[in-house]
Chains A and B, each alone.
Chain A
């Protein structure tokens, strides 16, 4: 589904990805771990097409097509979703409005009719129940005055409504208390699907106790330097990131 080869990218002329390779197939869950500043969020932003990042070398193929030439909105409509590390507050834009507009943008792109209002509400309410979210969130401004946990739940709500093929969740666990973490993990697990790939970007192993990954990668200075299964995450937790560096260089 996603083939990244030798990806190099800069932001404000500073190199943040330096020859990254990654292959993700449908049905898989990948965890990308790494210390602060290793390029985890940069990778997520480059995949969804943030204009501040410039790709200077390498390729990203999504479902056999060059992803890098698509606008951010077209990537979304083709089924790529990013759960933001810091979801943006947009006062004055109703949460339900955005959800509906996003769902309809995708449906229109796929030649489908707009979603029926009743069907939309039913789906939204069902998903909110699963995420332990109060329905009043639908009528509030997008992320406006939401707590950290509420913002992350709101990201998962959007993900569930948009049914992406490739979901990237950037530090979805950061700043969550244990109840919020469980609710978010619950939501993500309910979205596991043989035709959907999920990439979890995380600093800590904690999230992986609730969402079990198929693969774990360690990102270091803009490259993946070590890959393994979920046991790797535990090893990282025990030994710290410095251990990876000595292991790889020896």
Chain B
């Protein structure tokens, strides 16, 4: 038990209030486990810089039933958001509101999309506290099996609240042999107010298959989210990931990829834009169980105001995983003297024939480039904006799903405008 624990009785009560279905046993078991774990405590090994104590408090209040619902014109908001996203990104969309999956799912040819409760398979719950918490309070999740490549990506749109304060999202995505899947995930808020969303996504990538996955998080500035992605790669597979974190008060991402087959390739790319008091924490973990295999990673961050960001990139090369080739970079642009980045590579290598490179940079805008632009007639603010865009544009050039390029460019343009305007 720790100070971030919940009352076991209240947690049980909340689990029992969910409808009886295939997931009931999983929930009860997970609730039991979570009661012994509690939320991660700041300062513990994986949570050195990120503090979930407010989330523990918020969850307790919510379980107590003492939370006021944040009043907002939900219906109207939801419709607008859904329309703006689905109009901009051409995809087969699945909409999930407050952890509840919209019923009108159409399955593209060769792909099955079902609720997890409707799939007769045992759900594997991870061992970390947040995955266990997710399993305890999960209403339902999405189960996708991709057997045939589609022209358009599949899209998952997670819209939160404000009718639900604490939300669990879960997606399990199986990609069958030789299939290619494009997936776009958008995480947005339908209202303002304190909320917490906990999402777990699993990718099971069978031999010769590939996944191109773009995740865009642009939630409300009071929102907290914890997000875990697990990818398991069999032989000769590719997992391309682009994460974009623009919103949220506190955001924590854990991207865990395990290379279990030879000649697999993992590309993890991320961009985080933080201003005011935002906190964005990216933990990645690339496990090379076998070699030869390759992983590349590039995360870029732009920080202004009093924001704080964390990058922790672990690369693990198991004994015998010879021929592993891995490189990892984290570049940060600080637009304010008060912004803080804690960046740490973590290499654990137990094989002999391995190439691993890593590097991290933290800096301000290049003064000579600023002066060069000003000497051509661009004013100071415009020059700052141009250089900040240039810094961010590196991640767009590696975008794994082309269909969301325009949407992202607009989103980034607007956000960078604010960031440069609020710098200092």
B354-387 contacts to A, CB under 8 A, are 366, 368-369, 371-380, 382-383, 386-387
Q: Which of A42-73 contact B (CB under 8 A)?
A: 48-51, 71-73
Known: A73-B380, A88-B368, A88-B369. A93 touches B387 (CB 8 A): yes
Contact B375 A48 (CB under 8 A): yes
**A130 touches B (CB below 8 Å):** no
Contact B372 A92 (CB under 8 A): no
When distances are taken between beta carbons in the complex, the residues of chain A under 8 Å from B379 are 71, 73, 105
Chain-A contact segment, one of B235-243, B390-398, B409-417: B390-398
Please provide the 3 A-B residue pairs with the shortest distance between their CB atoms, ordered closest to farther.
Answer: A92-B390, A105-B377, A76-B377
Chain B binding surface SS class: helix
Interface size class of A (residues with CB under 8 A): 20 to 34
Q: Mark B140-177, 1 if CB is under 8 A from A, else 0.
A: 00000000000000000000000000000000000000
- Given known contacts A73-B380, A101-B382, A90 and B387 CB-to-CB distance under 8 angstroms: yes
Q: Which of A71, A76, A141 contacts B376 (CB 8 A)?
A: A76
A103 CB to closest chain B CB (Å) equals 8
Known A-B contacts A88-B372, A90-B369; the reply to A73 vs B377 at CB < 8 A is: yes
* A72 contacts B375, C-beta separation under 8 Å: yes
Look across to chain B and name the residue whose beta carbon is closest to the beta carbon of A101: B378
Number of chain B residues whose Cβ lies closer than 8 Å to a Cβ of chain A: 22
Do B372 and A87 touch across chains, with their CB atoms under 8 A apart?
yes
Q: Which residue of B lies closest to A161 (CB)?
A: B376
Bound-state Cα–Cα, A136 to B394, Å: 20
Q: Which one of B378, B390, B391 lies within 8 Å of A102 (CB-CB)?
A: B378
CB-CB under 8 A from B368, the residues of chain A are: 88
Closest chain B CB from A157 CB (angstroms): 12
Task: Mark interface residues in A79-114 (1 if CB within 8 Å of B CB, else 0).
Answer: 000101001101111000110011001100100000
- The answer to whether B390 touches A90 (Cβ under 8 A) is yes
Q: Are B373 and A98 in contact (CB under 8 A)?
A: yes
A51 to B380 alpha-carbon distance, docked (Å): 12
Q: How far is the CA of A169 from the CA of B319 in the complex (A)?
A: 60
Output the least CB separation between B227 and chain A (Å): 28
Tell me if B194 counts as interface (CB < 8 A to partner A): no
A-B contact pairs, 7 of them (CB 8 A): A48-B375, A75-B375, A88-B366, A90-B373, A92-B393, A93-B390, A98-B386
B372 to A, closest residue via Cβ: A88
CB of B413, distance to nearest CB on chain A (Å): 13
Chain B residues, Cβ within 8 Å of A50: 371
A162 within 8 A of B: yes
B390 to A, closest residue via Cβ: A92
Question: Could you list 17 further interchain pairs (A-B, Cβ under 8 angstroms) beyond the known A73-B383, A92-B389?
Answer: A48-B375, A71-B374, A73-B377, A73-B379, A76-B377, A88-B366, A88-B368, A90-B373, A90-B387, A90-B390, A92-B393, A92-B394, A93-B387, A98-B373, A101-B377, A105-B379, A158-B376
A106 touches B372 (CB 8 A): no
Instruction: Kindly identify which residue among A76, A77, A101, A158 contacts B386, using a CB–CB cutoff of 8 Å.
Output: A101
Residues in chain A within 8 A of chain B (CB atoms): 48-51, 71-73, 75-77, 82, 84, 87-88, 90-93, 97-98, 101-102, 105-106, 109, 141, 158, 162
Number of A-B contacts (CB under 8 A): 71
Across-interface contacts of B373 in A (CB, < 8 A)? 90, 98
A1 to chain B minimum Cβ distance, whole angstroms, is 18
Q: Which residues of B contact A90 (CB under 8 A)?
A: 369, 372-373, 387, 390
- In the bound assembly, the distance between CA atoms of A90 and B386 in angstroms comes to 10
- When the two chains form their complex, are residues A77 and B391 in contact, meaning their CB atoms are under 8 A apart? no
> Which of B372, B377, B383, B391 counts the most A-chain CB atoms under 10 A from its CB?
B377
The smallest beta-carbon distance between B392 and chain A, in angstroms, is: 8
Are B390 and A105 within 8 A (Cβ)?
A: no
CB–CB A72/B386 < 8 A: no
Look across to chain A and name the residue whose beta carbon is closest to the beta carbon of B379.
Answer: A73
Enumerate chain A residues within 8 angstroms of B377, measured Cβ to Cβ: 73, 76-77, 101-102, 105-106, 109, 162
CA of A102 to CA of B377, assembled, Å: 5
Interface core residue of B371, B372, B376, B389 (most chain A CB under 10 Å): B376
Residue of B nearest to A89 (CB): B369
**Are B372 and A84 in contact, with the CB atoms below 8 A?**
yes
A51→B376 CA distance, assembly (Å): 15
- Complex CA distance for A55 and B349, rounded to whole angstroms: 57
Interface centre among A71, A87, A101, A158 (most CB of B within 10 A): A101
Cα distance, A51 to B377, chains bound together (Å): 15
Say yes or no: B391 contacts A92, CB within 8 Å: yes
Give the complex CA separation of A221 and B157 in angstroms: 68
Q: Are B376 and A102 in contact (CB under 8 A)?
A: yes
A48: chain B residues at CB < 8 Å are 375
Provide the bound-state CA to CA distance between A92 and B394, in Å.
7
A21–B394 Cα distance when bound, in Å, is 47
Are B378 and A105 touching (Cβ within 8 A)? yes
Complex Cα gap A188–B352 (Å):
59
A54 CB, nearest partner CB in chain B, Å: 15
Query: How far does the alpha carbon of A151 sit from the alpha carbon of B368 in the complex, in Å?
Result: 15
B391 to chain A, nearest CB (A): 7
Nearest-CB distance from B367 to chain A (Å)?
Answer: 8
Q: Given A88-B368, A88-B369, are A98 and B376 neighbors across the interface (CB < 8 Å)?
A: yes
- In B100-131, which residues have CB < 8 Å from any A CB? none
Inter-chain contacts of A88 with B (CB < 8 A): 366, 368-369, 371-372
Given A73-B378, A92-B391, A93-B390: A51 touches B369 (CB 8 Å cut-off): no
- In the complex, are the beta carbons of B369 and A72 less than 8 A apart? no
B419 CB to nearest A CB, Å: 16
CA distance A167 to B391 in the complex (A): 30
B371 touches A51 (CB 8 A): yes
What is the CA–CA distance of A73 and B371 in the complex, to the nearest angstrom? 9
Chain B residues lying within 8 Å of A75, measured Cβ to Cβ, are 375
Residues of B within 8 A of A51 (CB): 371
